[in-house]
């Protein structure tokens, strides 16, 4: 699969894999059990310059875009998808600035993110606004040159640990989704606090926290893309970042596959290693087939998007849906290969199964993604526009 990657991208992938093996794997169970955020790991990632991967070169990054971010996310997630989210969640929170930020905003924030000094987060979801982003209740009241934010964001990755937040709020409720505006809000602003810390089934090494706004004062210069552009900012950001979710799911699937092959090569039943049984071979072969398909789809799609592809909503939805479904299937099969041991926390595949589930849910459930794909099909008739 390295035929799809440049020498520089292969180096990024290998560096991320080395860091995952040496720094993440020894502590993944600890962070899964405690639910603490892995600050130390984020520092290692920063020192390795991997936060620079997805930042444009003119802002002290490497300029490898979605492709570079996806490769690093895949390798981190192969070992621990929860810890990987500190990195991938920062990519998500940074993407609106890259796509819609003014020159001044980019120069103010992107170099700090590239250096790993400041993490980022994306605040879209609310209790009544999950799949239906048009139902956002957080209000931004305009008074002169300032807006005052009031409301609560829910299930926010990197909540409380980030320093830079992109918040989607309604600055003109009468206009519906055309009244949504995207704001850059920094930690420490008066009226910006944190609420519930979620106790999650999986990805427990990530921070998922409510963001609470009570008359939080934000200057108009912190608007991204212009007033009333919030829905476009949010949707375009997710179009790009869903490929990163696909990469996370791919990494989880790869990790579960590797653990399954290793275990089946050691476990003896009925006087022979279970990998010699045709039923086990069939499971492992199917894992390998689906992972290779998912990897080819992810890499090709990431390069297509970075190359200026136009129909990225369709592409991102396909990658996210396919890879997350594969991850859920493969991790479930991995637990089955391990048998009773697979259900025990002593072995990593039960964690991988728990981690995989969220990839089918966040950044747009797979049911919603299939609607997006279907709408594109209806628009185009029977045409399937390829990426080659």
Kindly give the interhelix angle for 312-338 and 278-306, rounded to the nearest 10 degrees.
160
Question: Residue 345 and residue 170: Cα distance in Å, rounded?
Answer: 44
For residue 85, what are its two tokens? 């989210």
As to burial, measured by CB atoms within 10 angstroms (0-12 exposed, 13-18 middle, 19+ buried), residue 262 is exposed
Q: Indicate which residue of 75, 126, 259, 363 is catalytic.
A: 363
HEC per residue, 215-250: EEEEEHHHEECCCCCHHHHHHHHHHHHHHHHHHHHH
Residue 258 annotated among the catalytic residues of the structure:
no
Handedness of CA 248, 250, 253, 257 (dihedral sign): negative
Least Cα distance to 128 among 154, 146, 96 occurs for: 154
Question: Residue 98 and residue 233: Cα distance in Å, rounded?
Answer: 11
Question: Residue 340 and residue 261: Cα distance in Å, rounded?
Answer: 16
Least Cα distance to 70 among 48, 45, 87 occurs for: 87
Catalytic center residues: 363
């Amino acid at each position: 699969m390295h035929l799809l990657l440049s020498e520089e991208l292969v180096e990024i992938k290998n560096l991320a894999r080395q860091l995952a093996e040496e720094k993440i794997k020894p502590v993944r169970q600890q962070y899964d059990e405690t639910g603490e955020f892995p600050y130390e790991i984020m520092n290692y990632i920063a020192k390795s310059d991997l936060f620079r991967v997805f930042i444009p070169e003119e802002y002290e990054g490497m300029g490898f875009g979605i492709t570079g971010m996806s490769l690093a996310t895949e390798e981190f997630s192969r070992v621990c998808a929860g810890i990987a989210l500190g990195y991938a969640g920062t990519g998500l929170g940074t993407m609106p600035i890259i796509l819609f930020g003014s020159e001044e905003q980019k120069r103010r924030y992107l170099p700090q993110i590239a250096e790993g000094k400041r993490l980022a987060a994306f605040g879209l979801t609310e209790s009544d606004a999950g799949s239906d982003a048009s139902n956002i209740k957080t209000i931004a009241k305009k008074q002169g040159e300032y807006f005052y934010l009031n409301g609560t964001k829910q299930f926010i990755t990197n909540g409380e640990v980030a320093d830079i937040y992109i918040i989607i709020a309604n600055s003109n409720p009468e206009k519906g989704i055309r009244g949504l505006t995207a704001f850059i809000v920094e930690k420490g602003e008066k009226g910006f606090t944190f609420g519930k810390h979620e106790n999650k089934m999986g990805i427990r090494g990530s921070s998922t926290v409510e963001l609470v706004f009570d008359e939080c004062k934000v200057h108009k210069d912190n608007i991204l893309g212009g007033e009333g552009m919030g829905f476009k900012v949010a949707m375009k950001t997710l179009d790009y970042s869903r490929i990163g979710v696909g990469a996370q799911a791919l990494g989880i699937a790869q990790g579960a596959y590797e653990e399954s092959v290793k275990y089946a090569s050691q476990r003896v039943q009925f006087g022979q290693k279970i990998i010699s049984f045709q039923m086990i071979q069939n499971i492992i072969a199917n894992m390998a087939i689906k992972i290779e398909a998912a990897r080819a789809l992810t890499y090709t799609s990431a390069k297509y998007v970075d190359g200026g592809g136009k129909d990225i909503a369709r592409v991102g939805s396909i990658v996210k849906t396919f890879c997350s479904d594969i991850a859920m299937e493969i991790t479930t099969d991995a637990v089955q290969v391990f048998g009773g041991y697979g259900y025990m926390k002593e072995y990593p595949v039960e964690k991988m199964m728990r981690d995989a589930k969220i990839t089918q849910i966040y950044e747009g459930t797979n049911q919603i993604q299939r609607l997006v794909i279907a709408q594109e099909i209806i628009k185009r008739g029977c045409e399937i526009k390829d990426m080659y």
